Amino acid sequence: MLMNLRIKFTKKGYLKYISHLDTMRLFQRAFRRGNIPIKYSQGFNPQPKMSIANPLALGIESEEEFMDIELLKKISEQEFIEIINNQLPDGIKILDAKYVNDDKSLPSTVRWSYYEINVKTKNMMDKNLLEEKINEWLNKKEIMFERRRYKKGKEIKDVKNIRPLIGNISLVKDNKNINDDAKYIIRIRCLLKSGDNGSLKPTDFLEALDSYLSLNMEIEMADIKRLNIFTEVDGKIQSPM
């Protein structure tokens, strides 16, 4: 009964500007155009059985996203990839597909996202010092951060220790602190919590980091890309595929 197909795909270029729901719809239509025998839910308003591992915020690119779909009839992975890639726009591409036999739903197992961030800053410091400061920050017992969310149009603020939500941070080695319009760019990679057991948005992460480093980052304009998603099954952190 290997009818659960796990798909790995990219979301790059201008396609980063379509939302999670738009992405779901895009795939539903691509499946319909490709005559993929998707299973539908029962009842009032039948919906195709598909779930994306972890919603990607609007404006963030991704090198690897995952989605599970349930099929009525098995088709070969290779055939599936060919059919659907023909139906997808530039920027969204299926890299791999495999039948899986997991009893837990994909979204419920997601724990971490690994991001690469390019962000312009007004200030800069020596690279060694920067690394030192970042380590100093991570060594703190608590990193308190005020998160703002919106619920029903109302702003809700809560202060929370985000340290447990940060796995690691590294400055990318080939990082050139180029001077561009008297601005600098730093490129960092970071592992942040994602999924049901707590998550940290990369932009919130940057805001918290910058309040410690005082580099005056242009967070709104940052280029953010998700490189990997990791799940945790029986205490083991691993790729969903």
Q: Which residues bind another protein (CB under 8 A)?
A: 14-15, 17-19, 21-22, 25-26, 28-33, 40, 44-46, 48, 58-59, 87, 89-91, 220-221
The residue (of 165 and 204) whose beta carbon lies closer to another protein is: 204
The residue (of 159 and 178) whose beta carbon lies closer to another protein is: 178
Output the smallest distance, CB 23 to another protein, in A: 9
Output the smallest distance, CB 59 to another protein, in A: 6
The residue (of 162 and 186) whose beta carbon lies closer to another protein is: 186
The residue (of 178 and 221) whose beta carbon lies closer to another protein is: 221
Output the smallest distance, CB 6 to another protein, in A: 22
Alpha carbons within 13 angstroms on the beta-carbon side of residue 145 total 23
Output the smallest distance, CB 223 to another protein, in A: 9
The residue (of 17 and 233) whose beta carbon lies closer to another protein is: 17
| Most distant CA pair in the chain, distance | 61
> What residues have CB less than 8 Å from 222, skipping those under 6 apart?
117, 118, 119, 120, 202, 203, 206
The residue (of 46 and 164) whose beta carbon lies closer to another protein is: 46
Output the smallest distance, CB 9 to another protein, in A: 15
Output the smallest distance, CB 25 to another protein, in A: 8
